[in-house]
Chain A
Amino acid sequence: MTLRGWRRRSLVCRQAVALMTDYLDGNLDARSRARLEQHLAACPHCSEYLAQLRVTVDALGRATPDALSDEALDELVGLYRRWRADPETAD
């Protein structure tokens, strides 16, 4: 393959980054995936960027919501009681 042909086929970093969300979602077709993986194998910066994106997604998946307070629970159960008593006017 000529150098020119190689350049046309290989990704630049900007293109690699643009594909990463779909890559993490398993949404890339086989050809794009192969091109991205080829780029990643040769580019430590993009590999690091992808690793950081993975850490970010993982951190989001571990995030736990604030605990429900007893007051908030009581308030909503009160709402339920009013609704049971009169379904038309609960609010």
Chain B
Amino acid sequence: MLLASTPVDDDGALVAGIRAGDEHAFAELVRRYQPRMLRLAEATVGSHAVAQEVTQDTWIAVLRGVDRFEGRSSLKTWLFRILVNRARTAASREQRAGRPEDFGDERFDAAGAWTVPPEPWADRAEDQLMAAQLAQRVQMLLPELPAAQRQVLVLRDVEGLSPEDVSGLLGVSDGNQRVLLHRGRARLRQLLAAEVLP
């Protein structure tokens, strides 16, 4: 049989296996996506325990909907869409107090020049050991950000989704997505600076 399109990896084969009752195919899909789904769920709900429940609910929805998955979007985007919907419901149920909006540490005078210029440290990341440490630190620092910024950062910069996919997944305009990305990166840059500088 000739397939219309073959995904870059073998996600499609796993979906076929799951429909056919292949437990190993399901286990492989879980290994591949559960850690990333948990991370995205945490970014949305801000709690590990609630995020665990959200991913479990998501897998149930995935199994119930697997016959309807047509491969029009990538499997990753499909899984993330189901997850984000459930995470949002959970987040509103938890009614967590919203974090104050953060505008980063960019400070400028009336003429638009830096009042306190950024202290240099970017060149230290050329060191591979330091770069590896920073990669670990960003994960631990993500919870410091407001939820909307965290979500966009995880989807765009961690998972590498396109701006269009992220806008669609989160139901925000392209402009809003860009603002959240900009603020999130700026805030995380500030937090990293505090880690790197003595």
Interface string of B28-49 (1 = CB under 8 A from A): 0011001110110000000000
The answer to whether A61 touches B160, judged by C-beta atoms less than 8 angstroms apart, is: yes
Nearest B-chain residue to A15, judged by Cβ = B112
Q: Which of B30, B64, B163, B185 contacts A56 (CB 8 A)?
A: B185
**CB-CB < 8 A to B64: which residues of A?**
83, 87, 90
Q: Which of B56, B118, B181, B192 contacts A59 (CB 8 A)?
A: B192
Q: Which of A14, A63, A64, A81 contacts B23 (CB 8 A)?
A: A81
The answer to whether B113 touches A13, judged by C-beta atoms less than 8 angstroms apart, is: yes
Q: Which of B38, B118, B136 contacts A48 (CB 8 A)?
A: B118
The answer to whether B34 touches A80, judged by C-beta atoms less than 8 angstroms apart, is: no
Give the docked Cα–Cα distance between A55 and B63 (Å).
39
Is A65 close to B, CB under 8 A? yes
User: How many interface contacts (CB-CB < 8 Å) are there between A and B?
Assistant: 138
B residues 158-188 in Cβ contact with A at 8 Å? 158, 160, 163, 178, 181-182, 185-186, 188
B residues 115-143 in Cβ contact with A at 8 Å? 117-118, 120-123, 125, 131-132, 134-139
**CB-CB < 8 A to A64: which residues of B?**
135
Interface size class of A (residues with CB under 8 A): 35 or more
**CB-CB < 8 A to B186: which residues of A?**
17, 53
Size of the chain B interface, CB-CB below 8 angstroms: 53
Give the docked Cα–Cα distance between A56 and B158 (Å).
11
Give the docked Cα–Cα distance between A53 and B157 (Å).
12
- Give the interface of A toward B (CB within 8 A): 12-15, 17-18, 20-22, 25, 27, 45, 48-49, 51-68, 72-73, 75-77, 79-81, 83-84, 87, 90-91
| Contacts A/B (CB < 8 Å), 29 sampled | A12-B108, A14-B108, A14-B112, A18-B182, A25-B178, A52-B121, A52-B122, A52-B189, A53-B189, A54-B122, A55-B122, A55-B131, A58-B125, A59-B131, A61-B157, A62-B132, A63-B135, A63-B158, A65-B35, A66-B38, A67-B35, A68-B34, A76-B59, A77-B23, A77-B26, A77-B27, A79-B63, A84-B21, A90-B64
- Give the interface of B toward A (CB within 8 A): 18, 21, 23, 26-27, 30-31, 34-36, 38-39, 56-57, 59-60, 63-64, 106, 108, 111-114, 117-118, 120-123, 125, 131-132, 134-139, 153, 157-158, 160, 163, 178, 181-182, 185-186, 188-189, 192-193
